[in-house]
Chain A
Amino acid sequence: MTSVGRFYLLTTSLLIGGWIWLLYNRYNSHITDGHTLCYIKNVTGYPCPACGTTNSVEAILTGNYQRALSANPLGYIALLALVLLPVIIGIDLMSGKRIVYGMYTNFDKTMKQRPILLFIIFLLLLINWIWNLYKM
């Protein structure tokens, strides 16, 4: 398989996995309370920068925007990706274009040309992580 094909396979399977996890959590929240997929949290007991995203997405879906923000602001980005990416992948599949792959390579190139942007992203994530550790 070409690297483009593998990229689409990876993206699609991640999106499907994300939706399944979300739906599973939504209808079995009483079972999965306290359980997590994050292996960093399972191994070390400390949350990773993205821990709390599931709670956050669920809070957004039920309209609790304040709770979503306090669970993990990354939930907004995750939900955006979960909703938008399947649509764009669908367009790619139908028209034979490579919009998602183009977006990814563009992003990669920008990050290499402007390390300051990468630094800002890392700084924001670090702040989010410290906040995450503080919340636990």
Chain B
Amino acid sequence: MDQQKVDMYIMSNSKFFEAHQIPMLRDMLLQADDSKFLALQTANTKDPTIMIIISLLAGGLGIDRFMLGETGMGIAKLLTCGGLGIWTIIDWFVIMGRTRELNMQKVQMALI
């Protein structure tokens, strides 16, 4: 992909990824073929800010984990009242990092 396109993508999506992953992501995108751009745009990445709001409001029911696509964790959270309320609180701090991590995985999958 040409540099302008890659820089534009990174500028508009930088908050979706961990800061330390951005240089690696940039290299990956520069090496990728132009035809992957559509797949990249439709990679179904999640916004960490929305995830933290969901986690605050409905974390006790595991909705945040379901939205990230971690169905097993979601059911476990739902069945245990958000992990006795403790897991819910842990997730308030963990969920943004986890979202970014999974976003990176999705982009990597899209670029293969």
Interface secondary structure of A, over-half rule: helix
Assuming the A-B contacts A50-B80, A77-B79, are A108 and B88 also in contact, with contact meaning beta carbons closer than 8 angstroms in the complex?
no
Q: Is B30 an interface residue (CB 8 A)?
A: no
Q: Is A4 an interface residue (CB 8 A)?
A: no
Alpha-carbon separation in the docked complex, A37 to B88 (Å): 11
Are B71 and A108 in touch, CB under 8 angstroms?
yes
Taking the closest CB of chain B, its distance from the CB of A41, in whole angstroms, is 8
Are B79 and A39 in touch, CB under 8 angstroms?
no
Q: Is A93 an interface residue (CB 8 A)?
A: no
Taking the closest CB of chain A, its distance from the CB of B43, in whole angstroms, is 17
Residues of A within 8 A of B71 (CB): 107-108, 111-112, 118
Please tell me the number of chain A residues within 8 Å of chain B, measured between CB atoms.
26
B61-78 contact mask (Cβ, 8 Å, vs A): 1 or 0: 100000001111001001
Q: Is B84 an interface residue (CB 8 A)?
A: yes
Q: What residue in chain B is nearest A43 (Cβ atoms)?
A: B60
Partner of B61, one of A10, A40, A77: A40
Residues of B within 8 A of A55 (CB): none
Are B75 and A14 in touch, CB under 8 angstroms?
no
Are A14 and B60 in touch, CB under 8 angstroms?
no
Are B87 and A39 in touch, CB under 8 angstroms?
no
Alpha-carbon separation in the docked complex, A77 to B83 (Å): 14
Q: Is B81 an interface residue (CB 8 A)?
A: yes
Q: Is A51 an interface residue (CB 8 A)?
A: yes
Within 8 A of B (CB), among A21-45: 21, 37-40
Residues of A within 8 A of B81 (CB): 37-38, 40, 48, 50-51, 53
Partner of B80, one of A14, A39, A104, A118: A14
Q: What residue in chain A is nearest B101 (Cβ atoms)?
A: A3
8 tightest Cβ-Cβ pairs between the two chains A and B: A50-B81, A37-B85, A108-B72, A111-B71, A38-B81, A40-B60, A107-B72, A37-B84
Known: A48-B82, A74-B79; 5 extra A-B contacts, CB below 8 A, are A38-B82, A39-B88, A105-B72, A108-B72, A111-B72
A residues with CB within 8 A of B: 10, 14, 17-18, 21, 37-40, 48-51, 53, 74, 77-78, 104-105, 107-108, 111-112, 118, 121, 125
Pull 6 A–B residue pairs with CB atoms less than 8 Å apart, ordered by A: A18-B80, A21-B84, A40-B60, A40-B81, A48-B81, A108-B72
